Amino acid sequence: MDLKAGIVLYDVDDKSIGILLRRFKSYEKEEYGRSYSVRAPEVFRVWVWESCWSRGGRVLYSEEGLINLIKANHILVLVDT
């Protein structure tokens, strides 16, 4: 699955709409508008998606976890940009 910013999602359980905002590495830190890497063990280095939902606000998902939720039809892709 090719995820990208701007994709509109629907959570079947919450019945809420979400949008993917950005993808970043789990060990990136943002401060004062700048992003930089933080030393972290290899096991914690995963891609993360930041999303915003009509219920729940800002939610972070690991990329693999989000893909699994989509494959299991818990989250549906409504609009793929």
Q: Is 21 helix (H, G, I), strand (E, B) or coil?
A: strand
User: Per residue in 16-55, pLDDT tens?
Assistant: 999 999 998 877 665 555 555 556 555 567 899 999 999 9
Mean pLDDT of the chain: 86
pLDDT the model gives residue 18: 98
pLDDT the model gives residue 42: 58
